[in-house]
Chains A and B, each alone.
Chain A
Amino acid sequence: MSAKPAAPKAAPDKTAEDLIAAAGALAPQAVFREPWEARAFAVAVALCETGQFRWAEFQQNLIDEIAAAERTGATTSGGTDYYRHWLSALVRLLEARGIVGVAELSARIAEVGPPPPPQDPRGAHRHGQNG
């Protein structure tokens, strides 16, 4: 089949070893390497199944994320970096649809993130009573 113009470039001499190394390193069941990858996967599938978007729309965003990364010369190993693209594609779609706002997501990320340092003003009303 003739080469497709959009196909990513890679150094062919490194390919074979890379592939074998990647394949050999994988346990048969290692579909996800980290729990968050599985959650990101499931959220996208669940939202598609309930009709929040069509799969092709999500897919296009995923293609764009991967292409943008590869245009800068970065390669995708297909592991965790792939699910980072997946997550960005999903967030972008949900923001574009107004399903999740940029600000509310940032705010929530800050909340679920690591605990604030002791001098954080929020530490003042810890234990949440009265206020």
Chain B
Amino acid sequence: MSDGHDHHDGHDYHNAPLSEPAQRVKALEQLLIEKGLVNPQALDELVDTYERRIGPRNGARVVARAWADPEYRKRLLANAAQAIEELGFPPGPQGEHMMALENTPRLHNLVVCTLCSCYPWSVLGLPPVWYKSTAYRASAVNDPRGLLKGFGLDVGDKEVRVWDSSSEMRYFVIPERPASTEHLTEDELADLVTRDSMIGTGLPKSPSQSARRAGASK
């Protein structure tokens, strides 16, 4: 900014002091706005999108469709990004190269990003805090079964396959369709799909669990 420092006298003066990273971000954002490189409204929209509009409900719809429609499932396995876009979920900056991983009675898939936090934003939104933690990233590789136990998941003698996401490829899991769900609609199926079941650290809810949830909250 070249027009001096008069804005010092603005209302920011009277706000609570900002934390150090908050100051840095604010300064950076101001400079980028002045240079015409970002637009504050576009930033607001991005935050709103990732806080509220994009999240695991998107992925749940994809999985439910794959459970209900074998042809869709084939397309999803062949070209995940395209099949996801079919449902109206555009790829984010991280979403161009995606692979859907099929759990089977003999195989359990687990997704991690060992180096940072690559994650299939377009279907799952932004990753949970633990996904980015050193503990998760290390133990998914070093002791995946122990890690699954930590999440309360016993996969028995299934093979556990760990997939390391990167900027080249992001993964998400198509969990096995729970038993006794033949009569459910696609919407009802989607309600069974949890975020963790698409990361591989959980399983979908059973219809009875889902009904209990909807009934008495406990």
Q: Which chain B residue shows the least CB distance to A50?
A: B37
Q: Does B87 contact A (CB under 8 A)?
A: no
Q: Which residues of A contact B (CB under 8 A)?
A: 1, 3-4, 6-10, 12, 14-20, 22-23, 26, 29-36, 38-43, 45-50, 52, 55-56, 59-60, 62-63, 66-67, 70, 75-80, 82-84, 87, 90-91, 94, 99-100, 104-105, 108-109, 111-115, 122, 126-128
Asked, given contacts A56-B167, A62-B116, A108-B31, whether A113 binds B130 with beta carbons under 8 Å apart, the answer is: no
**Complex contacts, A108 vs chain B, CB 8 Å:** 1, 27-28, 30-31
Q: What's the Cα separation between A112 and B146 when bound, in Å?
A: 47
**Complex contacts, A82 vs chain B, CB 8 Å:** 117, 129, 132
Chain A contact residues, majority secondary structure: helix
Asked, given contacts A91-B28, A112-B23, whether A67 binds B115 with beta carbons under 8 Å apart, the answer is: yes
The answer to whether B32 and A100 have CB atoms under 8 Å apart is yes
Nearest-Cβ distance from residue A93 to partner chain B, whole angstroms: 11
Nearest-Cβ distance from residue B36 to partner chain A, whole angstroms: 10
Interface centre among B29, B130, B146, B149 (most CB of A within 10 A): B130
The answer to whether B43 and A78 have CB atoms under 8 Å apart is no
Nearest-Cβ distance from residue B205 to partner chain A, whole angstroms: 14
Q: Which chain B residue shows the least CB distance to A106?
A: B27
Q: Out of B38, B52, B150, name the residue touching A43 (CB < 8 Å).
A: B38
**Complex contacts, B28 vs chain A, CB 8 Å:** 40, 43, 87, 90-91, 94, 100, 105, 108
Nearest-Cβ distance from residue B171 to partner chain A, whole angstroms: 12
**Complex contacts, A67 vs chain B, CB 8 Å:** 115
Which residues of B119-148 have CB atoms within 8 Å of chain A's CB atoms? 125-139, 141-143, 146-147
Nearest-Cβ distance from residue A45 to partner chain B, whole angstroms: 5
Q: Mark B35-68, 1 if CB is under 8 A from A, else 0.
A: 1011100111011001110000000000000000
**Complex contacts, B94 vs chain A, CB 8 Å:** 55
Q: Out of B38, B51, B146, name the residue touching A12 (CB < 8 Å).
A: B146
Nearest-Cβ distance from residue B186 to partner chain A, whole angstroms: 22
Asked, given contacts A7-B141, A34-B22, A112-B26, whether A22 binds B130 with beta carbons under 8 Å apart, the answer is: yes
**Complex contacts, A115 vs chain B, CB 8 Å:** 13
Q: Out of A4, A30, A66, A112, name the residue touching B27 (CB < 8 Å).
A: A112
The answer to whether A99 and B129 have CB atoms under 8 Å apart is no
**Complex contacts, B152 vs chain A, CB 8 Å:** 20
Nearest-Cβ distance from residue A24 to partner chain B, whole angstroms: 10
Asked, given contacts A20-B150, A78-B132, A104-B31, whether A128 binds B18 with beta carbons under 8 Å apart, the answer is: no
The answer to whether B141 and A31 have CB atoms under 8 Å apart is no
**Complex contacts, A114 vs chain B, CB 8 Å:** 17-18
Q: Out of A33, A60, A75, A113, name the residue touching B134 (CB < 8 Å).
A: A75
The answer to whether B117 and A36 have CB atoms under 8 Å apart is no
Q: Does B21 contact A (CB under 8 A)?
A: yes
